[in-house]
Amino acid sequence: MIRLTIAALALCGAAPVFAETHTITPGEGAQERLQEALILAEPGDEIVLEAGRYELTDGLSLDVDGVTLRGAGMDESVLDFTGQQGSGEGLLVTSDEVTLRDFAMENPKGDGIKSKGADNIVYHALKVTWTNGPDASNGAYAIYPVESTGVLVDGVYVSGASDAGIYVGQSSKITVRNSIAEQNVAGIEIENSRDALVENNIATKNTGGILVFDLPGLPVVGGGNVIVRQNIVSENTTPNFAPPGNIVASVPSGTGIMVMANEKVWIENNLANGNSTAPLMVIAYTQEFDDPRYNPYPRDVVIGANVVEDGGSNPDFPGGEQFAAAFGGAIPPILWDGLSDSDRPALIVTSGIPGVSLNLANQGQSIMEAQPGPMTAPSEIEQWDMSGIGAPAELEARLR
Amino acid sequence: MRRSFALLAVSALAFGGAIAGRAFPPPQVNDYVIAGDTLPRALADFGFFADSAGREAVSGVTSYSLNTPLFSDGADKLRYIYLPAGTEMSADGDGLLQFPVGAAIIKTFAFGEGDEQRFIETRVLLHRADGWTALPYRWDDAQSEAKLALAGARLPITTPAGEQISYRIPNKNECKTCHSKDGEVIPIGPKARNLSAEWLSAMVESGQLDAFPEGADMLPDWNRRGEKATTSLARAYLDVNCAHCHQPGGGASNSGLDLRWEQHDPHALGVRKPPVAAGRGAGGHTVSIAPGDPDSSILVYRMNSAEPGIAMPELGRSTIDHDGVEVVRRWIAEMSGTEITQ
């Protein structure tokens, strides 16, 4: 009963009075010592990873609310999963109000850090990498919050993921910022999620830089209210190394910012350079589906002012070369499949950036049946109320 | 008071209890330890067994078996439930029996035949006032004591199939990874549909179960699978081995794959369903189940792997269950894809 009282106080914000710090050192028994600390921690506690390399054989997990796991820096405290023998990720978080910061994870066999049903989570100054570079046998996601409300990803570095470096799925109230995603299939992916802000990131040398997708058949569908701004999306021309069968395996190499399905996505003030298929791509879901809840079309995708350079010169799909040649060596910066819902425009271009439409007639139609031509799109839209988009302000406070 | 102090307090109590137990037979289960909020350090603290080797269940501890069991690298499993005196379980259709607070479920994992049999670990689920708690206990080399393995462990084992493996005793959180629904710890095994009618009747007769459940004993007896229909075997196998995560509210709910016995929608069961977050686990295949084509089905691919990151289930096995793969493979091969039955 006394313990319960402490827990209640901790959740009320009085944590520092009782909170404990558990310091873990690398070396013999690190797996058990660290996992035991994660199990026995109480709300408000901080688990500190001293500098060094932790060689781990099994996935770690945290299921206690309000715990901080803190290393000595993303180049100092390294959780090494090269010898992992079991479980589907390096670290699984299933509790709320958790902060993960200042450590690195290398070579997890499945995903890197997964948080599921973990509301108000902060990922700060983390590095999750597969050290062998792009490889289909790498894990799918480096940073993987799913089914959560309140997600702040700030200042992380991810590379080598065979699906997405930073993947946020089936969640809401999300901010991904100040981060670098390099040499993944997808750099940053926001999927089946709402109220997401993606800003001030660098997505470079991935297959696709920043993806905003909505897919059918998942427990949560209906992605939208997403802002993508002030990102550098550069030279995402790594050949697609995703294992076939996954949706990102169909992302063409050379994709900058790509929106599939979704409603209300605002893309502004990004720099997209050297993305050889398309700097900006807006398309409907490409497959058949059977989900009455699902809308396969992009609706109200706004392309504001963006700096676009050296894109569209070598589209990575059949006939791409001729396609580019027909436009004088490079297709226009915006690539749209030509599909839209009946009563809302697929995209609105307020900045005069030119585009090309594939003029597909039906959702699910093959790109081989494209009849490319100049794109026309409305150019005016009222500014939305963006106040509810992004992670809750209290997550910010934990970074101080 | 922090948990470490609580641990000390309880071991002192349990120690006292053990001395008292010697003085006043017959031995009894320690209800206080089950219902308390501590993490008892030794299996013996509970008093489920009269002997230190954990073989002789005391009064109130009843053994049971399942028609179709979960595969755990071929381990033998000795299963028991404990109900405090004067309490009973209640039936809930063909689903999980509902246990009173103070109840426990105990499962010992063993390898080896006859005199060679060695206990590896005993897992307990305790039904406390604030919900279920799952704890793993590891047996010592002398087979005389099982101690709490909060953070889990690995040890070398030779499976009945002759494979040398690094066997994983799950940590407390890994217990919950499978034993959870909507974030709460729950039992998985004792569902009425997977328990024999004989056992359930006996529990009703002895006053430990309120009524004989409707839909009891529906899952086929895995030991007699040669005589059973493929569909029934495959659906039972998936229900028991996969559905604790692959159901709404389960650990893999975000996949949208629902492998429960009661699910009839082909898409939810994986028929022509594209993967969501399978990564390399997809193995180059585009759907969970390709009717008529097990070799193009992600489900079979992941069952037929022992590699972390590919293998499903993610926890609880280091080897491939070839019998299970064979049944599911046959089921998919015979499937037309338009209708799924049990």
- The residue ranges of every structural domain in chain B are 3-205, 222-333
Chain-chain contact of B254 with A247 (C-beta, under 8 angstroms):
no
| CA distances, B179 to each of A87, A219, B187 (Å) | 15, 20, 6
Pull the structure tokens for residue A391.
Answer: 């992670």
Residues A293, A222: contact at Cβ < 8 Å? yes
Mind telling me how many Å the CA of B226 is from chain A's nearest CA? 32
A/B interface, count of CB pairs below 8 Å: 147
ipTM above 0.85, yes or no: no
Helix (H/G/I), strand (E/B), else coil: A124: strand
For an interface test with B, the pick among A32, A42, A193 (most B C-beta atoms closer than 10 Å) comes out as: A32
The pLDDT of residue A288 is 87
- Put simply, whether A144 touches B (Cβ < 8 Å) is yes
Closest CB to B256 among A110, A219, A244: A219
| Nearest residue on chain B to A118, alpha-carbon basis | B183
In this structure, of A225-234, B14-23, B279-288, the range with the lowest mean pLDDT score is B14-23
Task: Report the alpha-carbon distance of residue B209 to residue A212 in Å, rounded.
Answer: 52
**Does the pLDDT value for residue A72 go beyond 80?**
yes
More confident of the two residues B26 and A237: A237
Q: Give the residue-averaged pLDDT of B182-206.
A: 95
Mind telling me how many Å the CA of A30 is from chain B's nearest CA? 11
Point out which residues pair with A348 in neighbouring strands. Answer: A302
Closest CB to A39 among B150, B248, B308: B150
**Does the pLDDT value for residue B115 go beyond 70?**
yes
Residues 346-385, chain A, touching B (beta carbon < 8 A): none
Chain-chain contact of A109 with B277 (C-beta, under 8 angstroms):
no
Chain-chain contact of A20 with B280 (C-beta, under 8 angstroms):
no
| CA distances, B204 to each of B61, B80, B97, B216 (Å) | 15, 16, 12, 13
Residues 94-123, chain A, touching B (beta carbon < 8 A): 94, 108-111, 116-117
| CA distances, B314 to each of A89, B36, B302 (Å) | 9, 31, 10
Chain A positions touching B315 (Cβ under 8 A) are: 86-87
Chain-chain contact of B176 with A63 (C-beta, under 8 angstroms):
yes
Chain-chain contact of A245 with B284 (C-beta, under 8 angstroms):
yes
This prediction has a pTM of 0.89
Mind telling me how many Å the CA of B172 is from chain A's nearest CA? 7
| Nearest residue on chain B to A243, alpha-carbon basis | B280
The pLDDT of residue A13 is 44
Residues A29, A54: contact at Cβ < 8 Å? no
Helix (H/G/I), strand (E/B), else coil: A397: helix
Residue tagged 């099982």 (tokens): B146
Return the DSSP state at A292: T
Q: How confident is the model at residue B339 (pLDDT cuts 50, 70, 90)?
A: low
Chain-chain contact of B267 with A109 (C-beta, under 8 angstroms):
no
Chain B positions touching A111 (Cβ under 8 A) are: 277, 279
Chain-chain contact of B275 with A246 (C-beta, under 8 angstroms):
yes
Chain-chain contact of A139 with B309 (C-beta, under 8 angstroms):
yes
| Nearest residue on chain B to A84, alpha-carbon basis | B308
Chain A positions touching B184 (Cβ under 8 A) are: none
Residue tagged 């030794």 (tokens): B42
Residues 45-104, chain A, touching B (beta carbon < 8 A): 57-58, 61-63, 84-88, 92, 94
Return the DSSP state at A137: T
| Nearest residue on chain A to B317, alpha-carbon basis | A86
Q: How confident is the model at residue B280 (pLDDT cuts 50, 70, 90)?
A: confident
Chain A positions touching B36 (Cβ under 8 A) are: none
**Does the pLDDT value for residue B231 go beyond 90?**
yes
| Nearest residue on chain B to A31, alpha-carbon basis | B151
Helices (H) and strands (E) in chain A, counts: 5, 34
In tens, the pLDDT along B123-155 reads 999 999 999 999 999 999 999 999 999 999 999
In tens, the pLDDT along A137-173 reads 999 999 999 999 999 999 999 999 999 999 999 999 9
In tens, the pLDDT along A298-321 reads 999 999 999 999 999 999 988 888
Task: Report the alpha-carbon distance of residue A191 to residue A122 in Å, rounded.
Answer: 18
Report the mean per-residue pLDDT for chain B.
90
